[in-house]
């Protein structure tokens, strides 16, 4: 009997790990603002927040991570990265969300250049300066040997909820077991979203799906306003 | 002092339409060279971490160093405020630095993570300062108040100072921890209060030397010496050694 | 039922914006109300029956072209209901708007009420030349009072000079998603207004609305409220802080 091969690469696991030093620990993805509003104060509300975040921002990020992985794997010319960048900008109307995505993208790029260097990563960097987070994640994983848009999308979707869950533990002193369970309760939906993102990974950038989360946009903008006025612990 | 707007050709910064005058940190749409590309070590300022428990006097020491060294060195500060931008505001309002020379970092309620395990936000802040002031000699990175185990990653700070104070008890050096045992300089602060809080300075300094071997220990009182002269001398030596090791600042 | 309506507005020799071509097709009826110079608001056309309010099985499309330098205000007349219908596969309504250099379009439909059995796709595609201007709005009411909304997918695509400014797809989703504070936070009314004019605003954020400058230019106002009266008030507040807000057709108070 041949030993079973793992289907998930170490690179994917490392990028999805909260210990990956790409600056993610300082982003709450709107959770801090929701806590200040009083709309998230316990584990049950956290679960609802994460559910919505996964289906909105998480699905959007997964689509672009899968598309970038697909593009990096087939070796696109550098101007493809400009197109993806502009298309994700157009799907991110809140300036605060664009800034948060680029800040995490820049941090992930910095860490990724040490961990998983590639020509595609250098070209992405040269073309976009501070790239969006999902695009960096896609390039890091797509340019490597693993090249699975579905795994890339799953990692990205997971990152969209694991950070806010950790922020909730830090801000509210939630039971970490409950917060963690709120994340893993979404595993089937995460897999569906990843599979759907992988299905559209080869689309032209302009035709990639768009997913809006109007309430999250308002939270992100309010977070920035309140940070200026009274200070916030998290960068988003 | 350098002018505040040194956009060395990257990004377009076309904000004149609305009369923007604030320094632009970066232009994410820029297709030019990345301002955040790591500079060769020869062209970058020495980065000194200042850490220590809450209330030990990190911000006061930082402010004193800025006042003493501001005229002779090109310097800037990154603060890791724990909750608000209080520390950054303190430095700006104290008039010791141009507001543009102070960057505040949000640490996501984990001050030790931001200086040790994931230094991204601090590196971004350092690089923003380097972009704004091309010929910096020194960046002081002040950590958020934490506990005795918090130290700076060597990827962020070239050398680091750990600040403890006599009011925290004279047992602190004996307790050890990576901050006390490994920092390049241990500052025992507020020695003017020793008598009032019943701290035995001789024991404290002897413990500190015993725990640290050859590493430097310095006792100070900013009440008696607001210029922090001894700490400032130590910083001057670090800047000189950094220059000697990597050559003068490239710009 | 498949129907296609079209409308072309151009400048005449006297500098007035006039309707050059107009083809209505039931249930899309276009009624020209006025001609005029750009300074006085240009041509005004009313849209009676709406591409966003068909019956199931309908496939409606409206093509609008605004010539160089011309100005069009295309306005809805009454709130519309997305209702279930006879055909399978739900209904679809699409509006394509092209605006040439120096042209201006304002597309201001009345709210769309998404009824419980609706199964509708609404698509708005706006292509602007480099110096064209646009303002368009969408107000979605998710179910009549006490009613669950049905299925709706509303997509907006906006390009200027071939550059994407906004790609937006909104679905109310199931009850659990609508209640999530990242999606709708339980709000019943979602209003969006896009403005691509001569000047772009600074970001402005309040609890239930935000004025957001887009990365490629233009802005999006997002409003989440319990009712349309408040939504209109918020849209007007956003207009008041938009540097070009005074040049737009005012947000009329709710009836």
pTM reported for the whole predicted model: 0.90
Known binding positions of B for GTP: 52-59
In chain A, whose CA is at the least distance from the CA of C182?
A216
Task: List chain C residues with CB under 8 Å of B18.
Answer: 199, 202
The answer to whether B117 contacts A82, with C-beta atoms less than 8 Å apart, is no
Sequence-ordered list of residues with C-beta below 8 angstroms from that of C145, at least 6 positions apart, any chain: none
The answer to whether B18 contacts C202, with C-beta atoms less than 8 Å apart, is yes
What would the DSSP string read from start to end of C92-152? EEEEEEEE-TT-EEEEEPPPEEE-TT-EEEEEEEEEE-TT-EEEEEEEEE-SSTT----EE
DSSP code of B143? Answer: P
Place of tokens 């860490």: A111
Q: What is the pLDDT of residues B4-21, one digit of tens each?
A: 444 443 433 333 333 333
The answer to whether B29 contacts C215, with C-beta atoms less than 8 Å apart, is yes
Q: What is the pLDDT of residues C162-219, one digit of tens each?
A: 999 999 999 999 999 999 999 999 999 999 999 999 999 999 999 999 999 999 999 9
Give me chain A's average pLDDT, please: 95
**Domains of chain B, earliest start first:** 46-243 (3.40.50.300)
Q: Which two tokens stand for residue A81?
A: 């990265």
Using CB atoms, which chains have 3+ pairs under 8 A with A? Answer: B, C
Task: List chain C residues with CB under 8 Å of B29.
Answer: 215
Q: What is the pLDDT of residues C157-172, one digit of tens each?
A: 999 999 999 999 999 9
Choose among C30, C124, C25: nearest CA to C72. Answer: C30
Cis status, amide bond into C27, omega within 30 of 0:
yes
B93/C contact by beta carbon, under 8 A: no
The answer to whether C210 contacts A217, with C-beta atoms less than 8 Å apart, is yes
Task: List chain A residues with CB under 8 Å of C208.
Answer: 218
Tell me the C-alpha to C-alpha distance, in Å, between residue C39 and each of C7, C42, C102.
21, 7, 13
In chain B, whose CA is at the least distance from the CA of C243?
B18
Q: Produce one character per residue of B68-95: b if its CB has 16 or more CB atoms within 10 Å, e if not.
A: bbeeebbbbbbbbbbeebebbbbbbeee
C199/B contact by beta carbon, under 8 A: yes
Task: List chain A residues with CB under 8 Å of B123.
Answer: 110
Q: Where are the domains of chain A?
A: 41-229
Mutate to test the interface with B, among A29, A36, A101, A129 (most CBs of B within 10 A): A129
Say if residues A54 and A186 touch (Cβ distance below 8 Å): yes
Q: Which two tokens stand for residue B123?
A: 């590196």
Which of A207-221, B115-129, C71-85 shows the lowest mean pLDDT across its residues? C71-85
What average pLDDT does range B225-230 have in this prediction? 96
Task: List chain C residues with CB under 8 Å of A89.
Answer: 164, 214-216
In the structure, what pLDDT confidence band is assigned to residue B35 with cuts at 50, 70 and 90? very low
The third-level CATH classification (topology) of the domain covering A41-229 is: Urease accessory protein UreF (1.10.4190)
Q: What is the pLDDT of residues A197-209, one digit of tens each?
A: 999 999 999 999 9
Closest-CA distance of chain A to residue B186, Å: 28
Q: How far apart are CA B206 and CA B203, in angstroms?
A: 5
Say if residues A9 and A151 touch (Cβ distance below 8 Å): yes
């Amino acid at each position: 009997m041949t030993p079973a091969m793992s289907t998930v690469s170490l690179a994917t696991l490392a990028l999805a790990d909260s210990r990956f030093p790409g600056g993610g620990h300082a982003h709450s993805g709107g959770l801090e603002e929701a806590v200040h509003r009083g709309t998230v104060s316990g584990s049950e509300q956290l679960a609802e927040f994460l559910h919505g975040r996964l289906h909105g921002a998480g699905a959007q990020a997964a689509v672009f991570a899968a598309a970038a992985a697909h593009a990096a794997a087939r070796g696109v010319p550098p101007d493809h990265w400009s197109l993806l960048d502009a298309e994700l900008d157009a799907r991110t109307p809140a300036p605060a969300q664009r800034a948060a995505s680029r800040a995490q993208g820049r941090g992930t790029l910095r860490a990724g250049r040490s961990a998983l260097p590639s020509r595609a990563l250098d070209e992405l960097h040269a073309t976009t300066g501070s790239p969006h987070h999902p695009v960096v994640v896609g390039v890091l994983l797509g340019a490597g040997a693993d090249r699975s848009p579905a795994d890339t999308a799953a990692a990205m979707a997971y990152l969209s909820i694991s950070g806010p869950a950790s922020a909730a533990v830090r801000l509210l002193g939630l039971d970490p077991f409950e917060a963690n369970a709120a994340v893993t309760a979404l595993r089937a939906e995460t897999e569906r979203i990843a599979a759907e993102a992988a299905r559209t990974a080869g689309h032209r950038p302009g035709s990639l799906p768009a997913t809006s989360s109007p309430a999250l946009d308002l939270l992100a903008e309010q977070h920035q306003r309140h940070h200026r006025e009274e200070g916030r612990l998290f960068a988003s | 002092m350098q002018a505040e707007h040194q956009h060395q050709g990257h990004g377009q910064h076309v904000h004149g339409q609305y009369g923007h005058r604030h320094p632009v940190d970066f232009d994410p749409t820029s297709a030019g060279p990345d301002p955040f590309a790591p500079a060769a070590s020869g062209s970058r300022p020495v980065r000194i971490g200042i850490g220590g428990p809450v209330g030990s006097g990190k911000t006061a020491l930082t402010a004193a160093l800025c006042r003493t060294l501001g005229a002779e060195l090109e310097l800037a500060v990154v603060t890791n405020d724990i909750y608000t931008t209080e520390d950054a505001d303190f430095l700006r309002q104290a008039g010791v630095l141009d507001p543009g020379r102070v960057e505040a970092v949000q640490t996501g309620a984990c001050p030790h993570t931001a200086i040790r395990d994931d230094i991204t936000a601090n590196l971004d802040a350092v690089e923003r300062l380097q972009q704004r002031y091309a010929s910096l000699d020194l960046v002081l990175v002040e950590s958020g108040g934490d506990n005795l185990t918090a130290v700076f990653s060597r990827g962020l700070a070239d050398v680091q100072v750990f600040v403890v104070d006599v009011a925290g008890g004279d047992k602190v050096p004996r307790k050890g921890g990576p901050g006390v045992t490994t920092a390049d300089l241990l500052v025992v602060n507020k020695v003017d209060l020793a008598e009032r809080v019943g701290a035995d300075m001789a024991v404290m300094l002897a413990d500190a030397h015993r725990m640290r071997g050859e590493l430097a220990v310095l006792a100070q009182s900013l009440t008696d010496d607001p210029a922090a002269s001894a700490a400032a001398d130590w910083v001057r030596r670090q800047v000189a050694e950094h220059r000697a090791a990597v050559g003068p600042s490239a710009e | 039922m498949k129907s296609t309506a079209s409308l072309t507005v151009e400048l005449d020799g006297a500098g007035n914006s006039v309707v050059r071509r107009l083809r209505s097709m039931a249930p899309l009826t276009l009624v020209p109300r006025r001609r005029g110079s750009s300074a006085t608001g240009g041509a005004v056309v009313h849209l009676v029956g709406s591409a966003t309010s068909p019956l199931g099985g309908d496939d409606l499309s409206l093509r609008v072209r605004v010539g160089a330098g011309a100005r069009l205000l295309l306005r809805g007349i009454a709130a519309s209901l997305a209702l279930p219908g006879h055909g399978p596969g739900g209904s679809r309504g699409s509006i394509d708007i092209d605006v040439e250099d120096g042209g201006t379009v304002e597309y201001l439909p009345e709210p769309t009420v998404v009824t419980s059995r609706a199964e509708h796709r609404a698509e708005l595609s706006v292509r602007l030349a480099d110096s064209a201007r646009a303002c368009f709005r969408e107000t979605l009411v998710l179910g009549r009072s006490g009613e669950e909304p049905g299925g709706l997918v509303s997509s907006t695509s906006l390009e200027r000079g071939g550059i994407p400014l906004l790609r937006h797809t909104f679905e109310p989703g199931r009850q659990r998603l609508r209640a999530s504070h990242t999606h709708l936070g339980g709000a019943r009314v979602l209003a969006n207004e896009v403005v691509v004019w001569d000047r772009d605003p600074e970001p402005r954020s309040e609890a239930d609305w935000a004025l957001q400058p887009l990365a490629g230019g233009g802005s999006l106002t997002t409003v989440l409220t319990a009712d349309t009266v408040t939504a209109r008030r918020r849209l007007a507040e956003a207009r008041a802080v938009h540097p070009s807000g005074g040049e737009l057709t005012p947000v009329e108070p709710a009836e």
